[in-house]
Structure 1
Amino acid sequence: MSQLDDALRIAVAAHAGQVDKAGQPYILHPLRLMMRMTSEAARIVAVLHDVVEDTDVSLDDLRAAGFGDEVIEAVELVTRRDTETYDEFIARIAPHALARQVKLADLEDNMDTRRLQTIDERTVERMQRYLRSWQLLRSIEDANT
């Protein structure tokens, strides 16, 4: 079994029963991100990007499953810590190319309002925060390409 297969298995099991803000199975979000990535490592990080933050899976679990340092580091970076603000979280991601690539795709997917039935004031505020973060990360990405 490939590491991507392992990542998919872990993500599907970890997100089982979760739904997104539109009421859809949550696993569809990391799968959409995975499909946008071009490298194996990026696909793995994309599909695992929320398992540590939103489920009982830990970084140690991912290490034990055989994922290497590159994947572990990127998953750790895209996992928001309880002690940091959202802006601190984004700043921590910014210098790391793989984490930045996955977070950009995450923000783009999260800003796609076509899946939402209603857009309230709270959603607008969240989208504005996502857009500011996307602009920052995109400018760094563009400067490095």
Structure 2
Amino acid sequence: MTQTLERAIALAATAHAGQVDKGGAPYILHPLKVMLRMSTLEERIVAVLHDVVEDCGISLDDLRKEGFSEEVLTAIASVTKVPGESYEDFVERAAQNPIGRVVKLADLEENSDLSRIASPSWEDLERVEKYRRAIGRLRS
């Protein structure tokens, strides 16, 4: 089976079914918004699948069996936080992969949009500040 954007979207929709974001919207909208910021097929596939390994119990091997390329799998791995890894090390690792870098940058930009949260808390503001520092690193 070859990798297709349609298959990636279907997998992400199934994996994120029933999940909601911090603003209460269906979570699948987040990876779709990140995907729409991308230029290439590979970037779009990685973008729509960027949270399925970390948040949904899907493994890279599961995605490999679905026919996704090693390039796509390596990029997804680069934007998947490893347990025990510091946030700074995670961002640095994402920055080392060309696809991972652009996907993580778009992910952080989407996550920095506080307009989706009715009453942002101090915790939300602190998280956005952390994201802004990471965005600076990814752009450098």
- Regarding TM over 0.5, the answer is yes
Identity value in percent? 50
Q: Which residue of 2 aligns with 1:121?
A: 122
Contact 2:46/2:72 (CA < 8 Å) preserved in 1? yes
Q: What CA distance in whole angstroms lies between the structure 1 residues aligned with 2:23 and 2:36?
A: 20
Q: Which residue of 2 aligns with 1:23?
A: 24
Q: Which residue of 2 aligns with 1:101?
A: 102
Q: Which residue of 2 aligns with 1:143?
A: none
How far did residue 96 of structure 1 move?
Answer: 1.3
Higher relative contact order (CA closer than 8 Å, sequence separation 6+): 2
The alignment partner of 2:31 has SS state of helix
Q: Which residue of 1 aligns with 2:9?
A: 8
Q: What CA distance in whole angstroms lies between the structure 1 residues aligned with 2:53 and 2:96?
A: 21
Task: Flag the 1:38–1:118 CA change in 2: closer, same or farther, 3 A.
Answer: same
1:17-57 C-alpha deviation (Å, 9 max, x unpaired): 00000000000000001111110000000000000000021
Q: Which residue of 1 aligns with 2:53?
A: 52
Q: Which residue of 2 aligns with 1:74?
A: 75
How far did residue 119 of structure 1 move?
Answer: 1.2
Q: Which runs of 5+ in 2 are unaligned?
A: none
Q: What CA distance in whole angstroms lies between the structure 2 residues aligned with 1:41 and 1:93?
A: 15
CA RMSD after TM alignment: 1.0
Instruction: Please give the TM-score of this superposition, normalised by the length of structure 2.
Output: 0.96
Q: Which runs of 5+ in 1 are unaligned?
A: 140-145
Residue 89 in structure 1 maps to residue 90 in structure 2: yes
Instruction: Please give the TM-score of this superposition, normalised by the length of structure 1.
Output: 0.93
